[in-house]
Amino acid sequence: MQRLLRLARIISVGIRFGLDEFVLAHARTRFLLVVVQRVLFWRALTEPRAVRLRLALEALGPLFVKFGQVLSTRRDLLPADIADELAKLQDQVPPFSTELACAQLERSFGRPVTEVFEQFEALPVASASIAQVHFAVLPGGRECAVKILRPNMQQAIEKDVALLDSAASLIEVLWVDGRRLKPREVVAEFAKHLNDELDLMREAANASQLRRNFAGSPLLMIPEIYWDYCSSSVMVMQRISGIPISHVDDLRAAGVDIPRLARAGVEIFFTQVFRDGFFHADMHPGNIFVSTDAEIRGKYVAVDFGIMGTLTDVDKNYLAQNFLAFFQRDYKRVAQAHLEAGWVPADTRVDEFENAIRAVCEPVFDRPLKDISFGRVLLRLFQTSRRFNVEIQPQLVMLQKTLLNIEGLGRELDPELDLWTTAKPYLERWMSEQLGWRGFARNLLSEAPRWANMLPQLPRLAHRALAADPSAGIERALDRLAAEQRQRHRSTVMLCLLLAALLAWQIVLVL
């Protein structure tokens, strides 16, 4: 019954915001769209379709807002107007009550909140679609931030994801672009992200790994996780004072070197991607601060580690080669890298692919960030990808989302930032470390324990190989072939006998 009521609510919101335009756009159902529009003549749909879609998701609540945020990252699948509008969805949603928050904490800790914290602020400092954050003080005076999962999220997610999957199935059938947009795959990807974010122990582990990766870094600070107070529904971490990255005037007033901060942001991004292959994939302005604490003043501070991206060594090498070839305007090398990775069909003409990439990338060189829109560049790249049947890699979709976030941060901090000049030396240094003598030495060191384990066994293995009779394997193979031949001979004899019997039977019938 509850599912039916929720479905009725979704349908009513869809009708109010004219989402029937999306569902009934296919040629086979166009007549239904005309009928619906005439029946609902009283609707005044003055806003563009993308705006109406965003408003509908906001009206349906936090989970649908989250779905819109995830959907906005799939610029390889969405029309530009919809992707741009969904990107405007904000993380701020109405908080749940302090009573519910305290009840969640008591279930997690097995004791009253007053026995866990010396002080707990009732008013949340941040509220998002999955959880909200309160400030508190631990025993001994340590200030902390307490992230609490929204109550009953698992049940709500299962119901809404089931409805979204049903809607996606309809869209595949009824919408003109339904199959190309792969709505069911997008819903499955959304469900995976949600399930990852529902486990705050996983998020705490992500934060701990990122903190370890940047231990002692002069650029990035990750809050310490207080593991004794963490569970699947509660995460407690170090509280750090800072200014939101988007408050540029406040940063200037605090004496922060803004151009240096922008360059540091680029280096942090490339360090996460190419050195570690483990990167913060939700770097919007609400999750990035600049520290005002005396010891770490001016450092970036990242929060919210529910969505992290990972890359293999193969991914990293592929990306680095592409970036360097791109910076050197070697578009043929970019095209060849795609072919070598198997991301485009083997029969693709390299010269045509090269020309298409050149047409997208050449206009953005030697221009400051304020004159470049990575959103438009990526959109044109994805259009080119569709034309050449490029297989979009899921891990690179997360990277694309992060790159768009970096673009937004860089544009707010320093529109004059030359991204190419800043990034190229870092990439060249990284490639030298990977492919030069440093990389060779590092690979030797990493393989040394395995070699040390194998070396004492080599004499025994060599003796076994030399002592083995080489003819034994040939004899076994000949015996196997002879057995197979005998089996085929028996089958042939049986078949001949069967045919003879049938022939004799036919002769008897004739006589």
Residue 80, C-beta contacts closer than 8 angstroms, at least 6 positions apart:
376, 379
Strand 220-221 to 300-302 pairing: parallel
Side chain identity, residue 268:
I
Q: 76, 91, 282, 304: which is the annotated catalytic residue?
A: 282
| Residues facing 135 on adjacent strands | 145
- List the structure tokens of 83: 């992707």
Q: Residue written as tokens 């039977």? A: 505
* Residue 465 dihedral angles phi and psi, to the nearest 5°: -65, -40
| Contact status, residue 197 vs residue 107, Cβ threshold 8 Å | no
> DSSP per residue over 111-161, as a string?
S-HHHH-SEE-SS-SEE-SSEEEEEEE-TTS-EEEEEEEPTTHHHHHHHHH
- Say whether 330 is catalytic: no
C-alpha to C-alpha distance for 21 and 43, rounded to whole angstroms: 13
Indicate the Cα dihedral angle 343, 347, 351, 357, nearest 10°: -30
* Residue 132 dihedral angles phi and psi, to the nearest 5°: -135, 165
The three-class DSSP label of residue 47 is coil
Neighbours of 185 (CB within 10 A): 14
Residue 329, C-beta contacts closer than 8 angstroms, at least 6 positions apart:
361, 362, 365
Q: HEC profile for 195-245? A: HHHHCHHHHHHHHHHHHHHCCCCCCEECCCECHHHCCCCEEEEECCCEEEC
Smallest CA-to-CA distance from 220 within 250, 261, 252, 277 is with: 261
- List the structure tokens of 225: 């996780």
CA angle 419, 423, 86 (to 5 degrees): 55
Helix axis angle for 183-198 and 200-213, nearest 10°, is 80
Residues catalogued as catalytic: 282
